[in-house]
Amino acid sequence: MNTSDLAWYSHEMCFWHDPGPGSGYVPVGPGVEPLRQFAVDPDLRRAEGLVRASGVMDRYTCVTPAPASDEDLLLVHVPEHIERVEAVSASGGGDAGVYAQVNYHSAQAARLAAGASVQATEDVLHGRFRRAYCLVRPPGHHAEPDRAMALCLYNNVAIAARAAQRRGARRVMILDWDVHHGNGIQRVFYEDPDVLYVSIHQDGLFPAASGLVMETGAGAGTGSTLNVPLPPGTGHDAYLAVVSRVVEPAARAFGPDLVLVAAGVDASGHDPMGRMMCTSRTFHAMASAMCRLADELTGGRIVFVHEGGYSAWYQPMLVLGTASAIAGLSAPQDPFLHSLDHLPGQRLQRHQSRVIEHLETHHPLLARHLAVTGPGRGAADE
Ligand SMILES: [Zn+2]
């Protein structure tokens, strides 16, 4: 991959966002002794540091994004939501929604996160770059048009997809492999036939009862939402089976002009929020597969936007695995891999395979595809 084809979007101010004192994901209060909340973003700065120290960053053109304009944010959000985020942040901190704690810098960080996503998408659409990665915080995929939720203030990927449509992209595919369900993205595009939203997430983790297999879109958008809720303990082989047997055929059936990836890394085996088993090898393989898919379907146009990721020690290696794949490099040497890679759950299990088989035979996009090509090889069930 040519250096001039790759772009990396990040901004120092994104690392200044901080959900404030708390423990895990809960703010300080009754029974909660101050420790630190997840998504305190020196961790993300360390991730960028590792990509730089490894030399992989040298493959990218680094771009400092501009903040999203009101016009950009209003592609997805109502004005009252933007006013609330700005007011709570300007007051010095508090909850801007539901479990969406902010500090003084958060409103600016959130505008930069959305702005990076929009700018990366427009640059890729205009041919300035082929592939882009946005290392941004706060994350976005839980944010709904009218409220911030679960650390997410503005829905970066949804805004980017709408911005792509504004710039003439006809059909946009979003793959979201964050361990949580992207309820915000789903809600924005649930009735839109021109945006395919595919989410691979831990079944029932958050939000509860969101991201079920039977949620496949509504009205004109029927078939353009595809949820893959996997059971806790799912690892490398099952994630790759989902990519090859669900994501790729769905993408081919849909025919996107652009692929966006909500590239959270909280499905890792060391993440405190999820109960999945992915490794740097998994994220490298999934990102490689998505870049190949973009080469096949969209002229190579693909944008990755960071979402969740809460392991202080493992997140940097997972970002490096993703960044290496986008640059066409082999998977990085991962000193943590030995603690996860040998676990039996890394192989595809029958109860995981059933989710894939259900989607292959029932989801409107895949059932149509199956009718044309016939059923594929049986899974390597164990
Ligand atoms: Zn998440």
Rounded distance from Cα 270 to ligand 1 centre (Å): 13
Average pLDDT over residues 25-32: 90
Per-residue pLDDT, averaged over 130-151, amounts to 97
Which stretch of 18-27, 91-100, 200-209, 217-226 has the lowest confidence by average pLDDT?
18-27
Token code pair at residue 271: 């993440």
Query: 372: CA distance to ligand 1 center in Å?
Result: 35
Higher pLDDT, 207 or 35: 207
pLDDT computed for residue 84 by the predictor: 98
Q: How far is the CA of 142 from the centre of ligand 1 (A)?
A: 9
Q: Left (φ > 0), alpha (ψ -120 to 50) or beta: where does 291 sit?
A: alpha
Ligand 1 center to 189 CA (angstroms): 19
pLDDT of 298 over the 50 cut: yes
CA 155–ligand 1 middle distance (angstroms): 13
Give residue 310's pLDDT.
93
Whether 105 is catalytic is: no
Q: Above 50 in pLDDT, residue 207? A: yes
Handedness of CA 328, 303, 18, 183 (dihedral sign): negative
DSSP 242-287: HIIIIIHHHHHHH--SEEEEE---TTBTT-SS----B-HHHHHHHH
Helix (H, G, I), strand (E, B) or coil at 351: helix
CA distances from 177 to 3, 63, 346, 375 (A): 26, 24, 17, 25
Between these two residues, 64 and 43, which has the higher pLDDT value? Answer: 64
pLDDT attached to residue 1: 66
Which domains, and CATH codes, for the chain? 3-9+43-61+113-373 (3.40.800.20)
pLDDT tens figures, 55-114: 999 999 999 999 999 999 999 999 999 999 999 999 999 999 999 999 999 999 999 999
272 cis-preceded (ω within 30 degrees of 0): no
Query: How far, in Å, CA of 281 to CA of 274, rounded?
Result: 18
To 10 degrees, what angle do helices 315-326 and 42-53 make?
50
- The secondary structure of residue 205, as a DSSP letter, is -
Instruction: Decide which of 351 and 380 is more confident.
Output: 351
Instruction: Report how far ligand 1's centroid is from the alpha carbon of 179 (Å).
Output: 5
Which ranges of the chain would DSSP assign to H, the alpha helix? 42-53, 70-73, 79-90, 106-125, 156-166, 183-189, 236-242, 248-254, 280-297, 315-326, 350-362, 364-373
Distance (Å, whole) CA 32 – CA 165: 44
Render pLDDT for 262-295 as a digit per residue (tens, 0 to 9).
999 999 999 999 999 999 999 999 999 999 999 9
Single out the catalytic residue among 11, 77, 142, 181: 142
Q: Could you tell me the distance, in angstroms and rounded to a whole number, from the CA of residue 255 to the centre of ligand 1?
A: 27
Which residues have a Cβ under 8 Å from the Cβ of 214 and sit 6 or more positions away? Answer: none
Asked if residue 376 has pLDDT above 50, the reply is no
Q: How far is the CA of 378 from the centre of ligand 1 (A)?
A: 31
Whether 381 has a pLDDT exceeding 70, the answer reads no
Find the 65 Cα to ligand 1 centroid distance in Å: 23
